[in-house]
Amino acid sequence: MNPATRAAWKSLAHAAEAARDVQLRDMFAADERRFASLSVRWNDWLLDYSKQRVTTASMTLLHGLWQTADVPAWIARMRAGEAINYSEERAALHIALRQPAHKGPILCGRQDVMPGVLGELDKMQRFAAQIHGRHWRGATGEPISDIVSIGIGGSDLGPRMATQALAAFRHPELNVHYVANLDGADLATALAALQPRTTLFIIASKTFTTQETMQNAASARHWLVQALGEAAVARHFVAVSTNLAEVARFGIDPENAFAFWDWVGGRYSLWSAIGLPLALAVGFDHFRQLLAGAHAMDEHFFSAPPAENLPGLLALLEIWNCNFLGANNRALLPYSQSLGLLPRYLQQLEMESNGKQVDRQGLPLDYTTAPVLWGEAGTNGQHAFYQLIHQGGRLVPCEFIACRQPDFDLRGHHEKLLANCFAQSEALMRGRTLAETTAELAASGMTAEQVALLAPYRSFPGNQPSTTLLLPRLDPFNLGALVALYEHKVFVESVIWNINPFDQWGVEYGKQLAGRLLPVIVGTAPAEHLDSSTAGLVAACRGN
């Protein structure tokens, strides 16, 4: 059903009209309990959304969207293993990947998926023990010192982001590298610092046919074979794939292939064998803590009412900003260098999931879905794009993430980091009026002429909405919960927007055209069928 036809949606549209001219600073001045009313605590976390342009009344209306869209029923359908990814006729059971063994079965159709999930985790743990114990030896008998993970999209972004995020937990004798881009510069720069005899490659591709991944894998194989010979491939390559025939053809022992399933979408696959490089980077005990954190967030999402449900609140706030206040973007601003790749990871999770043009019935949408997501770790972003957020005249909802405790405790750093984070959200909310700026500049000793000249430049409109998520610390448990938080946020949004978040047909079209163009670029097919622009670009590359 089109959500814009629901009574709750229409009520929110009226509430948004009333809220457009209200200033956040006035909301705080009028209600000393605003923070207490518009913040939620969970498991030592704090979600403060009091700087969003909402009231308790508009939040009650937003909670109504949760009910009228029947979010609880959709959660139940996901947990029951129904094919909620209906365009591909698949379930979406990434929650099974982090469920503890004692919790019982999870069915996909009539089959319990948990024995396979737990078996694959045990296999990953045994392999990690071999690598960390220096029992797995390369072709020359030396232990492995470097892991190169070759994948792309969901097979790369999740473990890459998490490996950086958990750098404080890195295994001291193992270096993990990631290669994804088809551009040879990505692989070449990674290999330049490595030795074939101590390097192990993990090739992550469900079908073992992904163009970018398999080209990088072939080049890595050539690099290894040139140094160590064909027989070395089996000791220096493992796979995460379900296509065992192609894995064997590549030269990898199928026993060294780790599986995942078609009910695991790529951007939801960190918890599966796709996370193997992460498990090697931080140790398998920490990987299990990551799973435990995600499962804890699952349990919270499944049981908490909308007013206390962290994924639900983030989803409803984004719908408010996008569909009712007119925002078309969101800035994700982690004040943690270790979370520097989180905006990039969530770009895929959110925009690939919810960047859709038709609803579940195949009808064109007449309302906005996923906003453009962008961001950078603080405080770097302050010296790049914060100027636009403060004075650029655009509505930019911001999401700050900070940790009470640092993961790398260098004296004098973390307190300044937190001060900057909290100050930015305050400045975005409060702004500074022309009168306030004029008084401040006059008090500094400037002449009246100087004040009149500079005051317009130093005034800020404020009223930019923001949310702050404060974690106790960045560790495997909390990182797992954080990623699961956003997975469930995306799901809630998709239910309310009446779209399928689990397919990505827009990704496939460009790949199909690239396959058609490749023979033209290498000169084995004519360019007759191409438009003039594409034909001109190909000709220019070929020197014509």
Long-range pairs for 29-35: beta carbons < 8 A, 24 or more residues apart: none
d(CA 536, CA 542): 10
d(CA 390, CA 137): 55
Output phi, psi for 18, to 5 deg.
-70, -25
Q: How many residues would you count in the chain? A: 544
d(CA 377, CA 230): 44
Q: Among 401, 402, 374, which residue's Cα sits nearest to residue 388?
A: 374
In what helix (H) or strand (E) does residue 239 lie, and over which residues does it extend? Answer: strand 237-240
- What b/e readout covers 505-516, taking b as 16+ CB neighbours within 10 angstroms? eeeeeeeeeeee
d(CA 250, CA 340): 35
* Strand bridging mode 175-179 / 107-108: unpaired
Q: Give the CA count within 13 Å in the CB-facing half-sphere of 20.
A: 10
- Contact (Cβ atoms closer than 8 angstroms) between residue 527 and residue 535: yes
d(CA 243, CA 205): 9
What is the C-alpha R_g of the chain?
A: 26
Residue position matching structure tokens 């055209």: 513
For the chain, the straight-line distance linking the first and the last C-alpha, in angstroms and rounded, comes to: 53
Catalytic machinery residues: 352, 383, 511
Q: Among 127, 116, 152, which residue's Cα sits nearest to residue 256?
A: 127
d(CA 274, CA 258): 8
Output phi, psi for 101, to 5 deg.
-60, -35
d(CA 141, CA 405): 42
Q: Among 123, 126, 144, which residue's Cα sits nearest to residue 240?
A: 123
CA 249 vs. chain centroid, Å, equals 33
Neighbouring-strand partners of residue 40: 47
DSSP string, 487-508: HHHHHHHHHHHT--SS--HHHH
